[in-house]
Chains A and B, each alone.
Chain A
């Protein structure tokens, strides 16, 4: 049994807290929406993942339990991210195009 992060795409509004709190598994696309790494969560990431789930303002982020070897539900997609580095106190990535004029929000 392993765990991975997954997303309710309809609930997600691209606020970006998840990418700041779990850069090892979540990056952001040019529109501010999460790029998810479906690699199972290691034990040291467990607390960070749960914190990211709690912090999501729209409760879109989930931790999904995947039985070992099973296909599970719809995959969060995307390739594994380059190993993210946790930097105390700094926002991990340039807020990619969060302010871009043409980015549209779903709400």
Chain B
């Protein structure tokens, strides 16, 4: 499955135009209509319908469009890969979005590092590229959060701010701002060339199109793969070379996502397919956990990272996330008490929905999936045992 990332096509403008064809001028109203017909939703995790964002911002005075390639999620590399291999698709999409809303400023927010140079190099090749602003985003989990991104563009620290007003009402410089994930814009660039029907040729009727997935962990060839929405998770893992060893579970949707037991890998990669499992595709992050690893230890490391990533602006997050991490550390250790599990549940109730952004909510979603998917491990640890290491011991004792 290759629509966005074509093998053998270089990142330069000449290769881009040869492989994709030129971008014809399009009417702003037609474009929003076509986006609606296509059913293109955001690929940054929230999956919000792009046409609604376009129309909301289009009515404002001097709106701004921002391509979000901040990619703060450590397990995600899809936007970095797009900027490295197909930057002109993203920049075409940014130009199209700007035309659709009548934008006065076009901005690319890119994860600090090599991606900045990729974008600048691509902009140098484009007529009018000198008018696109490039802002680097710090390598922090919350950098890609919409309002944190806007703060950074405005020259303030990359920290979320209180809503309302929403970013689409008051964003960069106080202006209505369309923030769109880099991959969403890349899809837009193809949509403007080939139309809604072509976009809908892949995926499901309710969730059309393809999405980029970053597959990592216990797989043979971790990396970025493109999959039609609705593809079974097992097939997406196969595209990354398949499991490198027997799997216990897969983390779906990144550090704010949910764990799926390895027995559920026929589940389709779609909102509809994953919702019954308490998960969602998010920004396409899949981390394969081997059976030889203690899932509670893996989860504790992630929650500690999430706690350290707090913007430290809101009391429940600042206090509650470290408490969650401490409790999970104890549960992952050799001898947790019964009170620890209750405490974990109590903390999830105290933290969710109480903050300026969704960092605490995402963390709670992750923790709740640990409680569900790894309930057996919690019981085992309580009894002084560990399912993962027991499996290794059993294998070792049966080996010749």
Contacts and interface: CB of A to CB of B under 8 A. Distances in A.
A14 B320 CA distance: 14
Question: Of residues B315, B350, B353, which shows the largest number of chain A Cβ atoms within 10 Å of its Cβ?
Answer: B315
B315 A32 contact: yes
B162 A31 contact: no
B247 interface: no
B393 interface: no
A8 interface: yes
B164 A10 contact: no
Interface in A1-26: 8-14
Interface residues of B, number: 18
B344 to A, nearest CB: 15
B163 A73 contact: yes
Contacts of A74: 163-164
Given A8-B162, A10-B313, A106-B313, A75 B319 contact: no
Please provide the 4 A-B residue pairs with the shortest distance between their CB atoms, ordered closest to farther.
Answer: A77-B353, A33-B315, A9-B314, A31-B319
Contacts of B320: 31
B354 interface: yes
A6 to B, nearest CB: 10
A87 interface: no
Given A9-B356, A14-B315, A106-B312, A29 B162 contact: no
Nearest to B317: A9
Contacts of A14: 315
A13 B315 CA distance: 7
A103 B314 contact: no
A9 B163 CA distance: 10
Given A9-B354, A29-B316, A105-B315, 10 more contacts: A9-B356, A10-B313, A10-B356, A33-B315, A77-B353, A77-B354, A78-B354, A104-B315, A104-B318, A104-B319
B350 to A, nearest CB: 6
A106 B353 contact: no
B353 A75 contact: yes
Interface residues of A, number: 22
A9 B313 contact: yes
A106 B354 CA distance: 14
Interface centre among B161, B162, B319 (most CB of A within 10 A): B319
B355 interface: yes
A106 B318 contact: yes
A77 B319 CA distance: 18
Contact of A77 (B313, B314, B352): B352
Contact of A33 (B312, B316, B356): B316
B142 to A, nearest CB: 13
A14 B319 CA distance: 12
Contacts of B318: 104, 106
Given A29-B350, A77-B353, A106-B312, A10 B319 contact: no
Contacts of A11: 162
Nearest to B361: A77
A75 B361 CA distance: 13
A33 B354 contact: yes
Contacts of A13: 315
A96 to B, nearest CB: 11
A75 B352 CA distance: 12
A12 B163 contact: no
A34 to B, nearest CB: 9
Contacts of B354: 9, 33, 77-78
Interface string B342-358: 00000000101111100
Nearest to B323: A102
A78 B353 contact: yes
A8 B163 CA distance: 8
Contacts of B312: 106
Contact of A12 (B314, B319, B353): B314
B164 A103 contact: no
Contacts of A32: 315
Nearest to B352: A77
A14 B316 CA distance: 10
Nearest to B350: A29
Contacts of B315: 9, 12-14, 31-33, 104-106
26 contacts: A8-B356, A9-B162, A9-B313, A9-B315, A9-B316, A10-B162, A10-B313, A10-B314, A12-B315, A14-B315, A29-B316, A29-B350, A30-B350, A31-B316, A31-B319, A31-B320, A32-B315, A33-B315, A33-B354, A73-B163, A74-B163, A75-B353, A77-B352, A78-B353, A103-B319, A104-B315
